């Protein structure tokens, strides 16, 4: 399973499985990625086109390489 990262409206980075994305919608000025079962990631994207392009590009890039994690400040 491959994950992509996306920033939610609070500025937090979340990892999602792009195969779970069922739709990308805009409602009341918020672009949301729906992961099915009424689970949404409310993003900082301002339009659907940008969100779709990001997901497609991130998914394409993830199909052939591993994520290179940097050491987080709070990691032991």
pLDDT in tens, 23-71: 999 998 899 999 988 899 999 999 999 999 999 988 886 665 565 666 6
Residue 54 lies inside a defined structural domain of this protein:
yes
HSE on the CB side for 52, CA within 13 Å?
A: 8
- Model's pTM, two decimal places? 0.76
Residue-number span of the structural domain to which 47 is assigned: 4-62
- Residue 74: inside a domain, yes or no? no
Does 16 reside within a domain? yes
Does residue 68 belong to any structural domain of this protein? no
Domain total of the chain: 1
- Count helices and strands (H / E) in the chain: 1, 5
49-60 pLDDT, tens digit per residue, is: 999 999 998 888
Distance CA 47, CA 62 (A): 23
């Amino acid at each position: 399973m491959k994950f992509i990262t996306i920033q939610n409206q609070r500025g937090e980075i979340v990892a999602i499985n792009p195969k779970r994305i069922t739709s990308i919608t805009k409602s009341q000025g918020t672009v949301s990625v729906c992961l099915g079962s009424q689970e949404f990631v409310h993003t900082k994207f301002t339009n659907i086109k940008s969100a779709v392009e990001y997901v497609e590009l991130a998914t394409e890039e993830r199909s052939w390489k591993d994520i290179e994690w940097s050491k987080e400040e709070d990691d032991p």
